[in-house]
Structure 1
Amino acid sequence: MASKALILIEGHRSIGPLYVRAAQRRGLYPITMSIDPTQYGYLAAEGTEAVQVDTNDLDAMKSVYSRLRLTHAIAGLTGFSGLDESVYVTVGKLCRHFSLPGPDPASIEQCHDKFVQRQLLAQAGIPLPDYRVAMNATEVECAAAEIGLPVVIKPVVGSGSSGVRLCHTAEELAKHAAYLLGGTRITQSTPKILIEEFAQGQYYNVDTMGHQVVGVGTAEFDCPPHFVFREVTFPAPLGKDEHERIVDLSLSCLQALGLGWGPANIELRWTKRGPVVIEVNPRLGAGPQLVNLAYGIDLVTEHIKLATGGKCALLKKRSHTAAWRYLIPDLDGTLDWIDGGTQAAAIPGIAEVKLYAQPKMPIIRKGDSEDCIGYVIAASPSRDQTATLLQQAVDLVNWTITPFRDGHC
């Protein structure tokens, strides 16, 4: 038998490498199962094994897993979400089938459907924006009229802000509903649409592990009508009472949804009526690096511990401020050049600089997390110092884009 293996289902361009490296540090042999392993460049860069398999086919996944355990002692299994959170449902089902530590697949599936999730939260008395579900354009129009414009409309299934849009007018609503219902999006689910009240107020995101709140962060978004993160900061500047209310609400969400194994991320806004839950994701948030830099808690490693039958340790070791700035282009076209990453990374206090885009790459914004062409992360003992360092680094990263002719590639 080879060294103990950790099976990773699909990948993720920012946190995927963290899992690979954390597994290796723990003496594990990471193996990625993916429908297309070549889409994750870090797999080749890290020299890790990958197996091509249709990750939408549960029986095919079971067959590959059974074959792998003939040559490897498999310690555990987990996975990632890109723009399709069904990966986590698959992870739960595989863990249950092969008696591995993992989340309850039924609870994950409930969260996967945003409408079902909201129904369960509402039944538990969790404060939510007003919401409706629609299957066609007429139902979308009626739902928006009942709730009142502006409204946020989104697919019932999805992540990474894919297909999420704020609509102020009936025209905007009709156009985006037609887009979501018309099959122009790549989706494997019935095109159900969630229409919800636009909850106005400061955005917060909460990272949990098991039944414990690890940290509360805050974020700002890029240009509306989309909900693409511009900057995320941990910890959020909160008073004691505000922090306690967010913690209590987050734990109530976990209980209402039957969660409590492994990581979860809760998104909310502080409105005129207090904290209102936007969404609960049964997975890590987008930036576990920030939690590590701010508190000294490596959520990736702690998750791997759980997935391999161990116990996690969530004791805070430091109290810093960490911030993540996403690099978002402001037009579509061909990227001419991008530079400055090396100089930005050399600034003391800059924890990481990542540039995804390469010269001659087409830039086509879709209003989701994939619009990001890179990021910069800074950390220091002071909130003001972190903000200053982050801006200094971001100012060093520059690029130019030549617009497409006549709007075409």
Structure 2
Amino acid sequence: MAILILNRFPAKLVFFKEWLQESGEELILFTPSYYENDFPEYDIVRGFENYVQSSLVEIEALQLHQERPIRRVLALDESDILRAARIRERLGLPGQDVASAVAYRDKVVMKSLLQDDVPCPAFQRLETGMELYDFVQEHGLPVVIKPIDGMGAMNTTLVHTAEELQPFYRKGRLTGMMVESYVPGTMYHIDGLVANDKLRLVSVGTYNDACLNYRANEGLYIRLLHPEEPIFQRLQAMTERVLAILPTPEHTSFHCEIFHTPDDQLIFCEIASRTGGGRISECVRQAYGVELDEAWSKLSCGLDVQLPETNVPRVLSAVYLIPKQPGRLVGMIEQFPFDWVQEYQPRMQPGMVSQGQLAAADTVGSVVFIAGDQTELAARHAELLAYIEQHVIWAPEEESVEAGR
């Protein structure tokens, strides 16, 4: 028997061969063509042009099953969740089905299932500018316009004025988009694992406001909370309610986002049946000793996983995503001189040119660091920012073209 892995990530971020070694099964990896030669240790590797959109991924999976029977299908990335579910259903395999995948991918379906039991902002699926116009007439501004299946705040727009609506009206066709009322306040993320239909690990963190306002090039800062902070238990309880209402898979990593408003309300934003991006997974690993994607992969293949008995972290952790600026990068950090920096992943090199940030996670690089308490974490964040400001240097570029993504 074989395990089919749908994988959009580079080899430096995923270690399926190591994670699934004890299964003793054949590992088949489907990946974008530009990564095809980066996985020589796998039994079969197939590269695909236009990987994210290509139906050949599913067709070749069905054909390959005739020669090498597939027992499990793994998919860790948002773009693979739905088609992995389609393959499972066609082959009669266990794991997340299509109804579950749609509920976790389509934000309108998601909120329609939740809105009677979980506070949600007003929302509307869009087809044309007329639905958008009617929504604004009823609910007012500001609003957020975004893809129904988006991720990482890509193609997400916060609209404050009637003038800012005009490009959407001119576009006319808005199929695949949605609009919802803007919710003021702090955005929290809740990450963890469901194993054997039980919530087994919960991590709570918060963003600065650069997640939605990434065009301001301020840099996204994400820090994890200690369970003793009062908001932690409230956010965990709402997340548990969301997981219970939605058709949640037996085993899954998850990434949930919830607003905390100035008048102390919790308002649901969205949830995904996959591990959070922006190196949140590394923050969780530092704090709890669990690699979410590894645990999720093992659980999905019937392998044993050791998980913490409590949600008390070993340390507090955070990640700062160094923002891109318009222009040419002329000075970059090779490594940080701080022993509390646990991971540094640069994504650009001197000489590369950028138009600025195109999404929240579209960055120069990421820095994960740890501390003993929130006071120390804040102090180290400030020290990190000062060092980055001094050593990451940009020069104007007359004709900027995107690079380093």
Whether 1:19 and 2:7 are equivalent positions in the alignment is: no
Are 2:103 and 2:247, in contact at CA under 8 Å, matched by a contact in 1? no
Question: For 1:273 and 1:394, how far apart are their aligned partners in 2?
Answer: 30
> What TM-score results when the alignment is normalised by the length of structure 1?
0.81
Q: 2:351: which partner in 1?
A: 360
Question: For 2:306 and 2:19, how far apart are their aligned partners in 1?
Answer: 17
The structure 2 residue matched to 1:77, chosen from 73, 78, 87, is 73
The structure 2 residue matched to 1:305, chosen from 265, 289, 298, is 298
Question: Structure 1 residues 208 and 370 mapped into 2: Cα distance closer, same or farther (>3 Å)?
Answer: closer
CA-to-aligned-CA distance 1:256-313 (integer Å, 9 cap, x gap) = 2111431111100112252110001111111211111112222122111112122443
Are 1:305 and 1:311, in contact at CA under 8 Å, matched by a contact in 2? yes
Read off the aligned partner of 1:377 and give its amino acid letter.
V
Read off the aligned partner of 1:207 and give its amino acid letter.
D
Read off the aligned partner of 1:378 and give its amino acid letter.
F
CA positional deviation for 1:119:
0.7
Question: Structure 1 residues 121 and 200 mapped into 2: Cα distance closer, same or farther (>3 Å)?
Answer: same
Question: For 2:92 and 2:221, how far apart are their aligned partners in 1?
Answer: 39
Are 2:6 and 2:30, in contact at CA under 8 Å, matched by a contact in 1? yes
Question: Structure 1 residues 127 and 223 mapped into 2: Cα distance closer, same or farther (>3 Å)?
Answer: closer
CA-to-aligned-CA distance 1:141-187 (integer Å, 9 cap, x gap) = 221221111111112222111111111101112225656x56xxxxx
Q: Look up the SS of the partner of 2:317 in the other structure.
A: strand
CA-to-aligned-CA distance 1:352-403 (integer Å, 9 cap, x gap) = 0011113333313454135212110001322232333344345444333343
The structure 2 residue matched to 1:102, chosen from 73, 87, 95, is 95
Q: 1:186: which partner in 2?
A: none
Question: For 1:235 and 1:69, how far apart are their aligned partners in 2?
Answer: 48
What does 1:35-74 correspond to in 2, within 5 Å? 36-38=32-34, 50-53=45-48, 54=51, 56-58=53-55, 60-64=57-61, 66-67=63-64, 70=67
Question: For 1:97 and 1:154, how far apart are their aligned partners in 2?
Answer: 31
Question: Structure 1 residues 177 and 51 mapped into 2: Cα distance closer, same or farther (>3 Å)?
Answer: farther
Q: Look up the SS of the partner of 1:233 in the other structure.
A: strand
CA positional deviation for 1:243:
2.6
Q: Look up the SS of the partner of 1:161 in the other structure.
A: coil
Q: Look up the SS of the partner of 1:231 in the other structure.
A: strand
Q: 2:190: which partner in 1?
A: 206
> What TM-score results when the alignment is normalised by the length of structure 2?
0.82
Question: For 1:135 and 1:5, how far apart are their aligned partners in 2?
Answer: 42
Name the Cα RMSD after superposition.
3.1
Q: 2:30: which partner in 1?
A: 33
Q: 1:160: which partner in 2?
A: 152
The structure 2 residue matched to 1:320, chosen from 302, 315, 323, is 315
Q: 1:147: which partner in 2?
A: 139
Identity among equivalent pairs (%):
20
Consecutive unaligned residues of structure 2, counting only runs of 5 or more, are: none
Q: 1:373: which partner in 2?
A: 364
Q: 1:10: which partner in 2?
A: 7
Question: For 1:220 and 1:237, how far apart are their aligned partners in 2?
Answer: 19
Consecutive unaligned residues of structure 1, counting only runs of 5 or more, are: 183-189
Question: For 1:249 and 1:324, how far apart are their aligned partners in 2?
Answer: 24
Q: 2:232: which partner in 1?
A: 243
Question: Structure 1 residues 128 and 334 mapped into 2: Cα distance closer, same or farther (>3 Å)?
Answer: same
Are 2:190 and 2:257, in contact at CA under 8 Å, matched by a contact in 1? yes
CA positional deviation for 1:404:
3.8
Whether 1:234 and 2:224 are equivalent positions in the alignment is: yes
Read off the aligned partner of 1:222 and give its amino acid letter.
A
CA positional deviation for 1:77:
3.0
Whether 1:130 and 2:122 are equivalent positions in the alignment is: yes
CA positional deviation for 1:9:
1.6
The aligned length equals 381
CA positional deviation for 1:8:
3.0
Question: Structure 1 residues 99 and 120 mapped into 2: Cα distance closer, same or farther (>3 Å)?
Answer: same
Whether 1:283 and 2:280 are equivalent positions in the alignment is: no
Whether 1:192 and 2:185 are equivalent positions in the alignment is: no
CA positional deviation for 1:214:
1.7
Q: 2:205: which partner in 1?
A: 217
